[in-house]
């Protein structure tokens, strides 16, 4: 048995997966799980920025996915797709990270302003070697943010840019003065300054952002940060996110935390991708996989808990007051690209397996709500573990999209402690917990409990004792499908989508949940 005690957001989000294909072992049903939900002992608030998104100039994320231009036959508002905007508004997206990723450290913002026909073109050397015409720049991105109701998270160019360039971009976007840069913004069509609440000072400076040593990056961060000015200090402070570690590089976190005063940064990033194989040269298929690959993917994604725990411990020694948030601003599954697509576009399908991965990671972030201040899944449209797939005028919502939609009740809610005792899901000689859970109470007093069953073969009964809840009713939704690799396509867009869940019963302070195999469930008490 695997026993865990952690903070669970009280929205019961259970990722329900379909049964294994023919050939799966007929294992005996494991014993049920037990859970104690302590609603009278609220923990830290789950930062809504944990549900952030990421849009990079990569493949068809921007062009074709978000931006089609004003003259496109695809319905749009000022060049931005109406269908994508409508879908994203339903997620209550808190922030969008842009323009990269690796692209950010070769992006020069002045190339993306002014009349589009006169904008400077460049080669996107990181992603497919295609010509970037910069028709989607600062004004278009800010318009997109306003249309979907989110806040911009700008990633600045440290790798190939200059201090002056970043300083002037901030002034261009946020200053209301009668100054040359603010007036240039007005000339280009936007009178009032935008609010830029989050700024990343570089991206992956240990790799594509400059191949820097942590000491060199820390000195650069201090220098660049000095010239990030708060032109609207009376209204808000730009939150500065320092470039953090590549996965388990704990030395990077130690050096940056030692060399950069806590007073000079608000966040430190962490990047970690889930690969089924752990081998970047052959990562595995997004859609054609067996139970061994299913299990390996979930086992590898659960490493996020270890990474967050160890990086948080390093930060705690230097920042016991937790003033610097850990921002996991790139995470998600990464598979081999879909056959027949440009390998530089990172296009992959999205199955029920990805929905389970999303649910598990959110539970980890909720568990560490005292330190994790944000996260951005990679990426928003048509790239990696995406929310939305498009093909010309066609659009399909992925299983991952639906987990974001189901779990949005956790945003900004107080985490609630849960004590979970779960059987293991065993494959070969390895095992992972069969059930994952998280709970929270929102501002209106509603308690939500989310549950994930990682076992693709066996349903489980979860017996919950509710302390301090006083619930009269329980309602829920479930996400599952008949096959592990079930997915939504343009021809069959509703294969995997949430439906009403009737497997939960409430008897006083006892909640009993019949949790299907390979499922995600969200309950409201």
* DSSP H helices in 302-351: 303-318
Residues 504-521: tens digit of each pLDDT = 999 999 999 999 999 999
Distance, CA of 201 to CA of 227 (rounded, Å): 11
Is it true that 2-45+415-524 and 48-411 share their CATH fold? no
Rounded to an integer, the average pLDDT of 462-477 is 95
Give the residue numbers annotated as catalytic, written as ranges.
204, 330
**Strand boundaries in 345-488, DSSP class E:** 372-377, 388-391, 394-397, 414-422, 424-427, 430-433, 435-441, 447-453, 460-467, 475-478
- What confidence tier does 7 reach under pLDDT thresholds 50, 70, 90? very low
Q: Which CATH number fits domain 2-45+415-524: 2.60.40.1180, 3.10.450.50, 1.20.1260.10, 1.10.10.10?
A: 2.60.40.1180
- 48-411 maps to which CATH number? 3.20.20.80
Mean pLDDT estimate for the chain: 94
Phi/psi class of residue 64: alpha, beta or left (left: φ > 0; alpha: ψ in -120 to 50)?
Answer: left
Rounded to an integer, the average pLDDT of 122-148 is 97
Indicate whether 444 pLDDT > 70.
yes
379 to 195, 329, 522: CA distances (angstroms): 23, 10, 24
Query: How many C-beta atoms surround the C-beta of residue 189 within 10 A?
Result: 10
Task: Indicate whether this model's pTM tops 0.75.
Answer: yes
Q: Where are the domains of the chain?
A: 2-45+415-524, 48-411
In this predicted structure, what is the pLDDT of residue 3? Answer: 43
In this predicted structure, what is the pLDDT of residue 31? Answer: 62
Look at 83 and 471; give whichever has higher pLDDT: 83
- What confidence tier does 1 reach under pLDDT thresholds 50, 70, 90? very low
- What confidence tier does 4 reach under pLDDT thresholds 50, 70, 90? very low
Q: CB-based burial of residue 44 (10 Å sphere; 0-12 exposed, 13-18 middle, 19+ buried)?
A: middle
In this predicted structure, what is the pLDDT of residue 16? Answer: 33
- What confidence tier does 30 reach under pLDDT thresholds 50, 70, 90? low
């Amino acid at each position: 048995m695997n026993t865990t005690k952690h903070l669970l957001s009280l929205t019961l989000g259970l990722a329900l997966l379909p049964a294994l294909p023919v050939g799966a072992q007929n294992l005996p049903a494991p014993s049920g799980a037990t859970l104690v939900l302590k609603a009278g002992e609220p923990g830290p608030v789950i930062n809504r920025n944990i549900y952030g998104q990421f849009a990079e100039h990569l493949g068809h994320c921007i062009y074709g996915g978000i931006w089609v231009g004003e003259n496109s036959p695809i319905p749009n508002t000022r060049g931005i797709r109406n269908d994508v905007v409508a879908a994203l508004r339903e997620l209550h997206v808190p922030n969008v990270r842009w323009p990269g990723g690796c692209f950010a450290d070769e992006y020069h913002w002045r190339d993306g302003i002014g009349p589009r026909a006169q904008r400077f073109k460049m080669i996107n050397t990181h992603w497919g070697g295609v010509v970037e015409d910069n028709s989607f720049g600062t004004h278009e991105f800010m318009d997109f943010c306003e249309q979907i109701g989110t806040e911009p998270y700008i990633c600045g160019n440290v790798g190939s840019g200059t201090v002056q360039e970043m300083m002037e971009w901030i002034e261009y976007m946020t200053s209301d003065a009668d100054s040359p840069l603010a007036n240039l913004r007005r000339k280009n069509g936007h009178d009032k300054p935008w609010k830029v609440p989050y700024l990343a000072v570089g991206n992956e400076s240990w790799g594509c952002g400059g191949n820097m040593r942590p000491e060199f990056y820390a000195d650069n961060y201090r220098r660049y940060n000095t010239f990030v000015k708060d032109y609207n200090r009376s209204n808000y402070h730009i939150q500065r996110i320092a470039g953090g570690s590549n996965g388990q590089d704990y030395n990077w976190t130690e050096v940056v935390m030692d060399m950069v005063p806590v007073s000079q940064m608000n966040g430190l990033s962490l990047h970690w991708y889930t690969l089924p194989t752990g081998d970047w040269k052959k990562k595995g298929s997004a859609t054609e996989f067996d139970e061994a690959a299913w299990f390996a993917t979930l086992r590898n994604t659960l490493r996020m808990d270890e990474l967050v725990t160890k990086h948080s411990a390093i930060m705690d020694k230097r920042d016991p007051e937790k003033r610097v948030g850990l921002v996991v601003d790139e995470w998600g599954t990464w598979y081999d690209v879909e056959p027949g697509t440009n390998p530089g576009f990172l296009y992959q399908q999205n199955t029920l397996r990805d929905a389970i991965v999303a649910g598990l990671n959110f539970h980890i972030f909720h568990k560490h709500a005292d330190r994790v201040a944000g996260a951005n899944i990679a990426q928003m449209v048509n790239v990696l573990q995406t929310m939305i797939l498009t093909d010309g005028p066609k659009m399909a919502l992925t299983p991952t999209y639906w987990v974001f939609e189901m779990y949005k009740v956790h945003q900004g809610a107080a985490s609630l402690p849960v004590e979970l005792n779960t059987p293991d899901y065993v494959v070969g000689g390895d095992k992972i917990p069969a059930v994952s859970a998280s709970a929270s109470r929102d501002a209106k007093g509603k308690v939500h409990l989310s549950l994930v069953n990682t076992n693709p073969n066996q349903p489980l009964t979860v017996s919950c004792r509710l302390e301090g809840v006083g619930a009269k009713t329980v309602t829920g939704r479930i996400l599952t499908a008949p096959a592990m690799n079930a997915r939504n396509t343009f021809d069959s867009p509703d294969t995997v989508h949430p439906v009403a869940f009737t497997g939960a019963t409430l008897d006083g302070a006892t909640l009993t949940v019949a949790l299907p195999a390979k499922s995600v469930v969200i309950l409201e008490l």
